Amino acid sequence: MRSEEVEPVGEAEFRQLRAAVFDLYAQGRHGEALALATEEARRFPQYANSLYFWRICLTCLAHGADAALDAFHAAVEAGFWLPAEMLHTQPDLATLQGDSEFEELVAACQARTEVARAKVVPWELTLPPKELPRSPRLLVALHGNNSNVRQSKEYWEPANDLAWTVILPQSTQLTGPDVAVWNDRPRAVAEISRHLSEFRAAHASEAVPALAAGFDLGGGLAIWLTLAEALDLEGFIAVAPSLPDLGELAQRLVERPPRGVRGYIVAGAKDTKCLEGSRRVVALMHERGLACELVVVPGLAHDFPPGFTQTLHQALHFVAAERQA
């Protein structure tokens, strides 16, 4: 293999790179983070858009506005885009925001965003169980913000071992090529509801038991869908859940608590923001007589824990305990 022929590598390797780059960033070692992201970029063509964004931000921090504009130009020429709202609110680009050259590049990115958003349609990835159960049961697994089903598939697929069908809906709220968020909740609920209804219709039953699961805002949405009874769900499994509107959810639980639902939350001890919200959810559910387990993983930040397959199996047994009894 010639040196310029680099075989793309997978999701686990990219997570390692992201952790290393973000660790250097957190330490203020921006030049080293930039060098690492630049050196490794060609190994991850499937993440080119994210890597271009990191490199623009890190160039701005390490080498200033002019160098960052050069990096931004090169990225746009290579096909990079992000929505204007993200570029205008990124603190690392504060010295560029409002500059005429920067704004021209932002406009080019926004134009690409609008074209992509006009074409996007809802879709999902379905992972059937390894052995068909007597009656179907469904895990609706939601990817994190600025992510996609491809990046989250490996985490939720082990539910197939326990005879669960897994559906991974892809959000249509695009923030880049092949990545999206769940920020518009009514739109997210409508799309997820359609996926769930289609599955139940295909199995000629409205009573197919279903759980919601997810990571980051996908995890927060899984909690909200269950506890606010936005969909007919029996429980949730949430990893590092982001809960931007916990106060609203708490009020709903006081006014109209759901009946019989169960929850399981996994949060890192270093993920202080999500851990605080997770503890609040557990307390709120316990106050309403609802079962919810919280697993705090030492040393973990905002990520899935190592050995998540075993954790997922434990979570499925716990959340589906009443039905299995």
pLDDT of residue 132: 77
Q: What is the pLDDT of residues 224-253, one digit of tens each?
A: 999 999 999 999 999 999 998 889 999 988
Instruction: Provide CATH 3.40.50.1820 ranges for the chain.
Output: 123-324
Q: Average pLDDT for residues 67-87, to the nearest whole number?
A: 96
Instruction: Provide CATH 1.25.40 ranges for the chain.
Output: 11-119
Q: What is the pLDDT of residues 80-127, one digit of tens each?
A: 999 999 999 999 999 999 999 999 999 999 999 999 999 999 999 999
pLDDT of residue 207: 66
CATH class of 123-324: alpha beta
pLDDT of residue 3: 32
Return d(Cα 30, Cα 177) in angstroms, integer.
25
Task: Please report which residue ranges of 4-90 form alpha helices under DSSP H.
Answer: 11-26, 30-40, 48-63, 65-77, 84-89
Partnered with residue 139 across adjacent β-strands are 166, 211
Tokens standing for residue 290: 């609802």
For domain 11-119, the CATH architecture is Alpha Horseshoe (1.25)
Place of tokens 């709903």: 252
Tokens standing for residue 298: 């030492």
Q: Average pLDDT for residues 310-323, to the nearest whole number?
A: 89
Q: What is the pLDDT of residues 278-293, one digit of tens each?
A: 999 999 999 999 999 9
Provide the whole-model pTM.
Answer: 0.89
Whether the per-residue pLDDT at 309 is higher than 60: the answer is yes
